[in-house]
Amino acid sequence: MTQSVFIQNPSPLAVQSPYPAGEHSLPRNSGRALEMDWVDEIRINLSAAERRVASLPGRRTVKKDAQAGWLLKAVTCIDLTTLNGDDTAERVKRLCAKAKTPVRGDLLERLGFAGRELHTGAVCVYHRFVATAVEALDGSGIPVAAVSTGFPAGLVPHDLKLKEIEASVRDGAQEIDIVITREHVLTGDWRALYAEVRDFRAACDNAHLKTILATGDLKTLRNVAKASMVCMMAGADFIKTSTGKEGVNATLPVTLAMLRMIRIYQERTGYKIGFKPAGGISTAKDVLNYQFLMKEELGRDWLEPELFRIGASSLLADIERQLEHHVTGHYSAFNRHPVG
């Protein structure tokens, strides 16, 4: 009989609600005036960034109980997502049910985690399904995130973008994942990008603003870094890599560039900004590398859902498979771990 595995140190696995008692527990980024000197001074060494992230798998690895602990922590940071043209209310309700119980009870019991709260960081949907998700998650402490501003291309009129944000907030969304106008970055119009995101921040009111840079469309790491800094100065609570719809989505070099900007912004302003990689993170092995990089670059605080989210859907199924393998020694089929 397989021995029950008890996770020895509970503190890294404590499930911290993103917004305890309905409030934000970290001081929110209020933004600041656009400092063009901060933007103009940014330089990125591409080869150094690539070497840095290439060294991760060889330097960082976790096995057995430690790996199970890291993966359970990853579950609490997932923005469980459905953003498909054939989404339905019933699919969203199933996704919400999975968000509330992301790992099977028998596996949690074998891991020594029975009776402890475990849920995903949020559920992410289109505006049409915000009210459905809010109702399905009532009382769970799980926030609803709404993609907005003409997601994924972001090419609708600015006034409509603001109205979409306001409508999602009225329907109960606690987080708004906006897309920026990529043209502002590609033409170096940083003042236009700042003004756009500043308007989005105002429209969000008390909802958290997560700015999607669509990094695969921005061409260079320097553009990614500069856009990150401008969005934070405009008041973003999170910066996010991708919509998941671009040809290239989250990558470790892009993540490194964005994390370095978060570090600089914190050093200069005192505000901690969250980070969300999205698109293409589908295996437990993938997410561990992002967790390792987060901890190395920004520290332990950025392993919590208040400051780290992963935009994903199939990732949860693979994490559950890895946990099952850990306690039984056998891998199961993906269809035994439905997400939504």
Please say if 219 is a catalytic residue.
no
Q: Rounded distance, CA 52 to CA 305, Å? A: 25
CB atoms within 10 A of CB 114: 12
* DSSP assignments along 132-153, one per residue: HHHHHTTTS-PPEEEEESSTTT
Please say if 276 is a catalytic residue.
yes
Q: Which residue out of 79, 98, 177, 210 is catalytically annotated? A: 177
**Contact between 161 and 200 (Cβ < 8 Å):** yes
Q: Rounded distance, CA 107 to CA 249, Å? A: 32
* Cα torsion 326, 330, 332, 336: sign: negative
Residue with tokens 């100065």: 233
Please say if 199 is a catalytic residue.
no
Residue type, 54: A
Alpha-helical runs (H) found in the chain: 36-40, 46-54, 56-59, 64-75, 89-100, 105-110, 130-136, 158-170, 182-186, 190-204, 221-233, 252-269, 284-298, 314-328
By 3-state DSSP, what share of the chain in percent is helix, strand and coil, each rounded to 5? 50, 10, 40
Tokens matching residue 32: 């600041």
Tokens matching residue 142: 């799980």
* Cα torsion 108, 60, 263, 255: sign: negative
Q: Which residue out of 199, 240, 286, 318 is catalytically annotated? A: 240
Q: Which residue out of 199, 276, 286, 318 is catalytically annotated? A: 276
Classify burial at 181, counting beta carbons within 10 Å of its beta carbon; exposed 0-12, middle 13-18, buried 19 or more.
buried
- Which residues are catalytic, by number? 177, 240, 276
